[in-house]
Amino acid sequence: MKINVVYNNKIAGYSSILEVLENTLLKKSVEFQTFDIDNMKNFGGFTFVIGGDGTLLKAARFYASAKTPVLGINLGRLGFLSQAGIEEISDVVSKVLDGKYSTEERLMLESENTLALNDFVIKGCNTYRASKFYLEINGRFVCDYIADGLIISTPTGSTAYGLSAGGPVLYPTLDAIVIVPVCPHTLNARPLVVPKEEVITVKTGDKLLSVAIDGSETPECIKQISIKTSANKALLAFLDNDSFYSVLRNKLHWGISPEK
């Protein structure tokens, strides 16, 4: 097996984990190449990603077209999509080499060849006040929102910003799209789940829309945006078949009764 090793040098502590992972692969006589997150190439048939969820999202989008599985080694805060820490690297590498992992295809969204594995976050370019957003689905007007923004999310992204904004948690392999208003100024503005085949268009009564993709820190201002399901799906690797529910419990404390 040939392996890609991707790291994010903007996150403190990456070098020590990278050194451990590279030494582990060398000891096991595995062919690999190492790439910075901003200079990725597809050398192998499996990818380890060192960083936070943002790093993993970017790598998963990049390797989706080659259907290369991606597994995260967490350096961020929550690490919702990551599978391991530094103390688990040797065991994780052994399991991957022995084929003791599963993969999940994850729906992605696209707009003009720009991919999102989590979400498109749409706001007015004047972010200091609420904006009016017009929602169309398949070219037909649905409703308008006065809100701080709209989140157009995949099931994978339903546990990210969409969850914080009051959206539902979707099982990550569902083929659906979630539309969540951010701080709506009406009580009847509720999240909406639609089939993956729908084409979602958002316009604004303001001059321009600000669009951030998977938490991008440099949102682009445009007049309107149309979003649809991508033909490519991201391929994530997991070591635990019950990983989604266990992560909900362990990292989001979902379904855990308060202590007496």
* Rounded-to-integer distance, Cα 81 and Cα 176, Å: 19
Provide the CB-side half-sphere exposure for 77 (13 A, CA).
2
Q: Which H helix or E strand runs over 61? A: helix 53-63
Per-residue confidence in pLDDT tens, the chain, 260 aa: 899 999 999 988 899 999 999 999 999 999 999 999 999 999 999 999 999 889 999 999 999 999 999 999 987 665 667 777 778 899 999 999 999 999 999 999 999 989 999 999 999 887 678 899 999 999 999 999 999 999 999 999 999 999 999 999 999 999 999 999 999 998 888 999 999 999 999 998 767 899 999 988 666 788 899 999 999 999 999 887 656 777 787 777 777 766 65
pLDDT at 98 (0 to 100): 95
> Could you tell me how far CA 169 lies from the centroid of its own chain?
14
Measured between alpha carbons, how far apart are the two ends of the chain, in Å? Answer: 50
**Which are the catalytic amino acids?**
53
Domains observed in the chain: 2-101+239-252 (3.40.50.10330), 109-230 (2.60.200.30)
